[in-house]
């Protein structure tokens, strides 16, 4: 099997110019079921964060997205109803976080067979 190029800058943050969505490869590694973000180039990670943001913008208006921004901060200035709504928005964003990644081809570690898992682990250790 030909080796894929791996991208080890796991802490690099990708920001959508269309809104406030941000992601990093490390966040995908820290999911309950970790994903292999090191296989995604910077360009693909940027496309991913843009897709997440566009998905959120298709569901929510600017005012609601502003509530989510405040919710991510300290939540000051939000009513209890707005806080509750923003909490639900955060859950939806988390869903998009994974579904947009899988739509672009990001794999879960658990999908790999034993040999592929060992080989990828070895390549990641070597690249570190």
Tell me if 99 sits within 8 A of 107, measured CB to CB. no
In the predicted structure, residue 3 carries a pLDDT above the cut 80? no
**SS3 at position 31:** coil
The model's pLDDT over 48-94, given as tens digits with 9 standing for 90+, comes to 999 999 999 999 999 999 999 999 989 999 999 999 999 999 999 99
Partners of residue 24 on adjacent β-strands: 13
Q: Does some domain include residue 3?
A: no
Question: What is the pLDDT at residue 124?
Answer: 83
In the predicted structure, residue 1 carries a pLDDT above the cut 80? no
Give the chain's mean pLDDT: 92
Question: What is the pLDDT at residue 8?
Answer: 87
Q: Does some domain include residue 8?
A: no
Secondary structure letter of residue 35 according to DSSP: B
Q: Does some domain include residue 125?
A: no
Q: Does some domain include residue 122?
A: no
Domain count across the chain: 1
Question: What is the pLDDT at residue 125?
Answer: 80
Q: Does some domain include residue 4?
A: no
Question: What is the pLDDT at residue 31?
Answer: 95
**SS3 at position 84:** helix
Range of the domain at 30: 13-115
Overall average pLDDT of the 16-28 stretch: 88
Tell me if 108 sits within 8 A of 30, measured CB to CB. no
Question: What is the pLDDT at residue 18?
Answer: 76
Q: Does some domain include residue 82?
A: yes
Q: Does some domain include residue 6?
A: no
Q: Does some domain include residue 86?
A: yes
Joined tokens for residue 83: 């806080």
pTM, full prediction:
0.88
């Amino acid at each position: 099997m030909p080796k894929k190029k791996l991208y080890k800058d796991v802490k690099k943050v990708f920001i959508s110019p269309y809104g406030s969505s941000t992601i990093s490869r490390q966040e995908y590694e820290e999911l309950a079921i970790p994903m292999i973000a090191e296989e995604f180039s910077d360009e693909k990670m940027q496309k991913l964060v843009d897709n997440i943001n566009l998905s959120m913008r298709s569901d929510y208006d600017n005012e609601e997205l502003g509530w989510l921004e405040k919710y991510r901060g300290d939540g000051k200035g939000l009513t209890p109803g707005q806080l509750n709504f923003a909490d639900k928005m955060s859950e939806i964003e988390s869903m998009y976080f994974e579904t947009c990644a899988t739509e672009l081809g990001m794999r879960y570690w658990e999908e790999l067979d034993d040999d592929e898992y060992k080989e990828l682990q070895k390549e990641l250790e070597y690249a570190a």
